[in-house]
Amino acid sequence: MTVRRTLTAVAAATVLALLPHTAQAAESYPAPRPITGQQIIHDPTVIRLKSGGYAAYSTGGVIGARLSKDGKHWDDAGNAFAEPPTWWYEYNDTGDPWAPDLSYRDGRYWLYYAVSSWGTNHSAIGVATSATGLPGTWTDHGKVFSSQTTDHWNAIDPAIVKADGKLWMSFGSYWTGIRMVELDPATGKAVPGATVHHLATRPDAPYAVEGPAIVKHGRHYYLFASYDACCSGVNSTYKIRVGRSASVTGPYVDSTGKPMLEGGGDLLLEGHGRFIGTGGQSVFRDRGEDWLAYHYYDAADDGTPKLGLNRLSWTADGRPSVR
């Protein structure tokens, strides 16, 4: 997911003026939490560290790192790794990783990430662990799961969730959409011969849904996914949709009952005002509250990708909304 700045500030302002939905959307969605410091990010995953403060990892660099003491001021903290593990070069010439996922279990931080090339599903998901979750402390453990050009899925955009005593990884981008496999908790890697479950897709090619994140709230599991196109500055059409299921493996449906396997999904957040192409999302827990982390393209700053943070609230019938 290479980040590209495509328009000047003047052109960005022109695009905003031409967007028919902007005024309505600006009234419908809250602005992200104001932050300072290093705001540039793409495909963020955020966690509150056991040692205090916050870490965010992202696409860019060798998994770009940001650190914050309060969740409001963020500092550039270099990269997760000093250099790419050699096996990454099997999937692209630059050792460029994408879309990490950060979690904590069994006394360690776990960092999942993808390596691939634009436009192919010759892809792999890898995993690293750390005692502290801080950049420069990660030990890579190699491939978790991979896909080939003969497969009907794309092994990128990993996201981890525990359910019913098992560990699961959702993933997927275009091809046939969002998939899921069971992981071995001891290794963090796919169970040999694991069933590849199908969670969400679109009715028509190119099946533009990717970047899953699954969380449990109440008795349901919620699948958040990015729909449409990223990575084109203020021309991006990314938006976040969500469905829910009583089972982690689905079926996921929206509030009308339409399955996400048939293109369903309630619209949670889309471009509004200066905040264009909202997506690449993850969800993290902080002091009893759920937060949505995502990137947007700032139409007031040349379409630069920046960190968006909004709290999630839940309706009485268990539907999420941003605030």
Instruction: Give me the active site residues, please.
Output: 43, 210
Q: From CA 84, how far away is CA 61, in angstroms rounded? A: 10
What is d(CA 102, CA 58) in angstroms, rounded to the nearest whole number? Answer: 10
Name the DSSP letter for residue 17. Answer: H
Task: Tell me the C-alpha distance between 42 and 279, whole Å.
Answer: 9
Give the integer Cα–Cα distance in Å for 299 and 22: 12
Rounded to whole angstroms, what are the CA distances from 277 to 13, 19, 42, 175? 15, 12, 11, 21
| Selection from 284, 318, 233, 319 nearest residue 54 by Cα | 284
SS3 49: coil
Q: Give the integer Cα–Cα distance in Å for 98 and 106.
A: 25
Q: What is the DSSP string of 81-127?
A: SSS--GGGGGT-TT--EEEEEEEEETTEEEEEEEE--TT---EEEEE
State how far the Cα of 169 lies from the Cα of 49, in Å rounded to an integer.
Answer: 22
Take residue 23 and report the two structure tokens written for it. Answer: 């005024």
